[in-house]
Homo-oligomer: A and B are copies of this chain.
Amino acid sequence: MSDKVNSKTTVVDCSVRDGGLINKWQFDDNMVKAVFQAVNASGVDYMEIGYRASEKMFPPGEYGPWRFSKDDKILEIIDGEPLNTKLGVMVDIGRVEAEDINPAGDSPLSFIRVATYLKDVKKAIALANLIADKGYEAFINIMAISTVNDFDLEAGLAEIEKHAPVTAVTVVDSYGALDGDNVRHLVNVFKNSLDKKKVGFHGHNNLQLGFANTIDAIKAGTTFCDATITGIGRAAGNCPLELLLAHVDNPQYSIDPIFQVIQDVFVDLRKKIEWGYLLPYMITGMLNEHPRVAIALRNSKEKDDYADFYRKLTTPECYSN
């Protein structure tokens, strides 16, 4: 019973990149290879395989290979397979240097997305220009979008529209705090502020709205939709790729390889690391807070003391910390 949505909807898998936020990107090569092969076979348009970061800033070993996503490592994963899916990475402002990014002609990657807070949009524009100059398709993702006001947002988007050579700008609901009305409003602000760039959407599932918000974003005019296999991702996780592919219902996509990799890889992975709707994440989403306090709770002995957690978070002296 799926909508027949805009056939131009473009799907971006970020299973390894966002999933790695759970375990510092300590996935073994077999997992990453299985995800790459499934996504590549499914006809998904883009795959963000990890972050690109400087090894000066994150000690390798403590952080797994997909914090760095080096070109030679990616070539090992591709292993000669013809690419149906464009491969890319995400970069954070101040955590990557120009020397970490080879010219696109020397890399298996075709796109790079810059993740930024709205306050750093000028830095994001500079980085997007560096990326485009090196020959990659560039994107900007604006994080924590539920915490910005329209006035500042419109000013930032106007800067991007004028100065950033990007294909799309993505609404990122980092806190999983948005509902359908919020999504429609934000997509409209983005559309009205951007003339030559498309709009993207990246949802989180704190309120069990990751998928629903993605549908609403598509209806409101979003083109680039982020999703992850089984919703793997930090805290409550993301819009599940399998739901999005079933919904978009474009003959380009095959859902079978995604079901297969869930059966083969994600059933076991879920026994080792945790993601998805849990009450502490619901509570931070409801309060429009970063999930870090809920993640800390889940790593403590009080992991299931949800009501106590809620009372603590909504008590003024806790907020003042």
Binding site for B on A (CB under 8 A): 1-3, 146, 177-182, 205, 207-213, 215-216, 230, 240, 242-243, 246-247, 255-256, 259-260, 262-264, 267, 276-277, 279, 282-283, 286, 288, 304-308, 310-311
Known: A263-B308, A304-B267, A306-B263. A240 touches B208 (CB 8 A): yes
Q: Is the interface of A mostly helix, strand, loop or mixed?
A: helix
Chain B residues lying within 8 Å of A205, measured Cβ to Cβ, are 208
Known: A1-B177, A256-B311, A263-B305. 7 other contacts (CB 8 A): A2-B179, A180-B215, A205-B208, A246-B286, A256-B310, A259-B307, A260-B307
Q: Is the CB of A211 within 8 A of B211?
A: no
Question: What is the count of identical protomers in the complex?
Answer: 2
Q: Is the CB of A263 within 8 A of B304?
A: yes
Chain B residues lying within 8 Å of A213, measured Cβ to Cβ, are 212
Q: Is the CB of B307 within 8 A of A263?
A: yes
CA–CA, A298 and B100, complex, Å:
47
Q: Is the CB of A182 within 8 A of B310?
A: no
Closest approach, in angstroms, between the C-beta of A163 and any C-beta of chain B? 30
Chain B residues lying within 8 Å of A178, measured Cβ to Cβ, are 1
Q: Contacting A179 at CB < 8 Å: which of B215, B240, B259?
A: B215
Q: Is the CB of A209 within 8 A of B211?
A: yes
Closest approach, in angstroms, between the C-beta of A258 and any C-beta of chain B? 9
Q: Is the CB of A279 within 8 A of B242?
A: yes
Known: A208-B208, A243-B282, A307-B260. A288 touches B1 (CB 8 A): yes
